[in-house]
Amino acid sequence: MYLNRMVDDWSRGKVVDVFCNINMDDCIFGKQLLLHIKSLAISQQKQLASSYDTDNSTPLIQCCFIGNIDLVKWCLHHYTNNVNHSRDSDGESPLCIACQEGHTEVVQMLINNKADINKCDDDEVSPMYFACWNGHTEVVQMLINNKADINKCDDKEISPLYIACQEGHTEVVQMLIKNQADVYKCNDEEVSPLYIACHEGHTEVVQMLINNKANINKCRDTGASPLYITCQKGHTEVVQMLINNKADINKCRYTGESPLYIACWKGHTEVVQMLINNKADINKCRDIGESPLYMACWKGHTEVVQMLINNKADIKKCRDTGESPLYIACYKGHTEIVQMLINNKADINKCRDTGESPLYMACWKGHTEVVQMLTNNQADINKCRDTGESPLYIACWKGNTEVVQILINNKADINKCRDTGESPLYIACLKDILK
């Protein structure tokens, strides 16, 4: 009775409902369904095999998805339509789906029945691409043996080799390279197979590509090199591999960030040491003047800061707008780094281009310990920004009571007004009223 109802649904075009039925996971049930179908008249079997649902999905497509070999055989025997017929939603053919799912015997069966080995879906994804993406080694070899286009890219210019490198399918990568896959083929953002393997940290794949003459310095459309992205991700072993193979250690992005800069930003201590050991330019700044030391101070990577200072990083090197490493460390409240910079003779009163000093910024942000540290080291307690606000003024404005007390204890000018005449007392009263 249940099988009759399934066949009735099938004949009414509910193809997906029938083959996605949970019972189809049971091999015995699948065999019972097939026996029931085979008991029907040949004309009815042909009608069922050639039916399709509202998405144009056929029984063959669904059987290729679930990988039921006997049902696929039955479909191919009774199917009156084209074996390459694709469903509407994504344009995937039976072969695409079988390759995606890794059903090796089904793939061979479809090839034997003249399936188009290079027929792509709506995104130009080929059967080969699907097999490489999912790491189905036997299927990949089968497609290669049957002259599949090994370099057929999708609509983003991603090749089968690229996607295998991205997913870290080492054996598939080796297979493709042995069969003349283009190791230089980039996607539409100029990302190469080597770059994406470095991005993902697939060490064996990276070595394989290098051994096969991949361009080690090929940058993507932002100017980021394989070494740069590896340093960003902190893949230490891959970084060493690239350096050993003469990667350009100072190759910067178009906006000026070097591999060392990005490693300092991310706090990858081992990578930073590795780059320093291999003569990376320790003071190479990006286009707005930020040095590796500046970025490490901003992000609070204490160990990296110490490492850079030990290797003669320029402690006074400022951004284009005048912020020093000490300034940014005070702004962020990184106490250990502030002490480290002071111990190494950082200019404690170096202001940015609008006049704010490190002390001013620490007072604004309410970093009490940093304020105490700066006052203990002779910071100019009355140094004002260009519009006249003193450290005491800004501390009163922000209501940072402990900071105000420290400044008063250290002889801050309690009546120092800004250029429009407001005193610290005035701004404290105003802020209290506005509450």
Residue 435 has a pLDDT of 53
Residue 7 has a pLDDT of 80
Span 139-176, pLDDT tens digits:
999 999 999 999 999 999 999 999 999 999 999 999 99
Residues with Cβ < 8 Å from 217, sequence gap 6 or more?
Answer: 225, 226, 227, 247, 248, 251
Residue 33 has a pLDDT of 86
Note whether 135 and 98 are within 8 A (CB).
Answer: no
Span 210-262, pLDDT tens digits:
999 999 999 999 999 999 999 999 999 999 999 999 999 999 999 999 999 99
Mean pLDDT of the chain: 95
Three-state SS for 70?
helix
Q: How far is CA 239 from CA 197, 259, 262, in A?
A: 12, 10, 13
pLDDT at 6 over 90: no
Q: Rounded distance, CA 206 to CA 196, Å?
A: 9
In the chain, what are the domains? 45-149 (1.25.40.20)
Span 43-92, pLDDT tens digits:
998 998 889 898 899 999 999 999 999 999 999 999 877 899 999 999 99
Residue 23 has a pLDDT of 82
Residue 27 has a pLDDT of 85
Average pLDDT, integer, range 339-354: 98
The neighbour count for residue 382, using CB atoms within 10 Å, is 13
Burial class (CB in 10 A: 0-12, 13-18, 19+), 91: middle
Helix and strand counts by DSSP (H, E) for the chain: 27, 0
pTM (2 decimals)?
0.92
Span 362-372, pLDDT tens digits:
999 999 999 99
The neighbour count for residue 318, using CB atoms within 10 Å, is 23
Confidence tier at 321 by pLDDT (50, 70, 90): very high
Helices 358-365, 325-332: axis angle to 10 degrees equals 10
pLDDT at 434 over 70: no
